Amino acid sequence: MDIRIYAALGAALLSGLGARAQQTLPLSLAECRERALAHSEELQQAENRLEQARLDRQIAATAALPKIEGSATGAYMLPDMDMMGMDLRMRGTYMAGLNLTQSIYAGGKIAAARRMARIGEEVAGEQRRMTRMDVLVEADNTYWTTVAVDRQVRMLESYAAQMDTLYRQTAAAFEAGMAIENDLMRIEAKRSEIRYQLQKAQNGAELCRMSLCRVIGAKRDQHPIPTDTLFQTSEPGALLPDFATRPELRMLEQQVAVGEQQIRDARSAMLPTVGLSLGYTYYGNIKLNSMVDAGNGTLVPYTQEFRDGLGLAMLAVKIPIFHWGESRKKVRKARYELRNAQLDLQKNSRLMSLEVEQAIRNVEDGYRLIQTAELALQQAEENLRVMRNRYKTQMAPLTDLLDAQSQWQQAASNRIEAHTQYRIYETEYLRCTGMLE
């Protein structure tokens, strides 16, 4: 009795684990994108770099503000110092003060640093946009590839069912003496080929699903099922070769702006700097011990303690005179770096323009391929229907029917591939033009 109870409990537990292992996760394309963005470590790192750049800009802004510092000092000095017959005692002497420093003119160095920090924040923002687009491209490609492979599996399953039906019909005809054994062998060979293709497609579907789980951060016991599986493709409108908002282009433009600020920063070393400093220090417990005449030649000890405060105002001007041409060489070096940034912008702008034109061509060609694949599938379906009817009436040999079925399979596969590739081309076009959001 106990053994049956344990067996029932074990079966229930295994059943529950199996159900949990096969937990399905319906997933639309929008949900796939949202999950991929939330899961991406690269995007999180890009957001962290953006926050760092914002802090750098705030730090650079503080360079133009006054600096206030406080100090406190305690001293205990032995032995006492002799000061013209008097002892200067500094045992427990203390000093405390405040100091304010304000840069009045730094040759443009502070302004250049602030501009570069602001440019750095803009670059970090564009890097975040670029990373976000890369995540969306990967999510879209993985999603549509999974949809395509699932459709291939269903198509091959339908193809296998057709061959099974044909095999049963031919076997019945063979028993009735209306078909030859060679026909059965041909069909059986084709069934084996289809089962092999189906197994490969199922393995590919599982790999695609694992990749989709990785992209969206799904758990191991989740089984994502794409829900946007209807291929409804409309003719693409006017595709403009405009990539002005592309993050890569804007980052290159910001690199040129950084080069201009680096020239100003290098030139600032050739200009004078002016700074103002204000301070106040309070000191105490400094004692001066001596012997004084109290009258009639009587000497008595005398101690005087010093406690007071001192104020200080100082204006400093620093003028570079001769540094062996160091500053001029740094300016020339910065100009070469600016020129290199301009050349990078020029070269990569041409490359991005070609990339956008190729993306537009891919979208247009992809749509034409869909139309061709749809027409080819209609023709293959009609040809298969005619061959089936002719084979049933013994007006066409088996080889013609098998050829028609193979043509239908290829046409159906081409249609799936064309629709999937068109979706991927659309996403790539949006990425190339900087419109993938």
Q: What is the DSSP string of 107-152?
A: TTHHHHHHHHHHHHHHHHHHHHHHHHHHHHHHHHHHHHHHHHHHHH
pLDDT value at residue 5:
40
Return the domain boundaries, the chain: 66-105+273-319
Of the listed ranges 59-68, 113-122, 175-184, 398-407, the least confidently predicted one is 175-184
Provide the percentage of residues in the chain whose pLDDT is more than 90: 69
Amino acid, single-letter form, for residue 233: T
Across the chain, mean pLDDT equals 89
Interatomic CA distance for residues 129 and 423, integer angstroms = 21
Q: Which residues pair with 291 in a beta bridge?
A: 301
Q: Are 203 and 197 in contact (CB under 8 A)?
A: no
For residue range 300-352, what is the model confidence (pLDDT) as tens digits?
787 888 888 999 999 999 999 988 989 999 999 999 999 999 999 999 999 99
pLDDT value at residue 22:
58
Query: pTM score, two decimals?
Result: 0.84
Interatomic CA distance for residues 280 and 11, integer angstroms = 85
| 3-class DSSP assignment, residue 315 | strand
More confident residue, 212 or 220: 212
3-state helix, strand, coil in the chain (%, to 5): 65, 20, 15
Burial of 186 (0-12, 13-18, 19+ CB in 10 A): middle
pLDDT value at residue 13:
39
pLDDT value at residue 36:
96
Q: Are 25 and 215 in contact (CB under 8 A)?
A: no
pLDDT tops 90 at residue 427 = yes
The one-character DSSP state at 89 is: E
pLDDT tops 90 at residue 9 = no
For residue range 234-257, what is the model confidence (pLDDT) as tens digits?
788 788 889 999 999 999 999 999
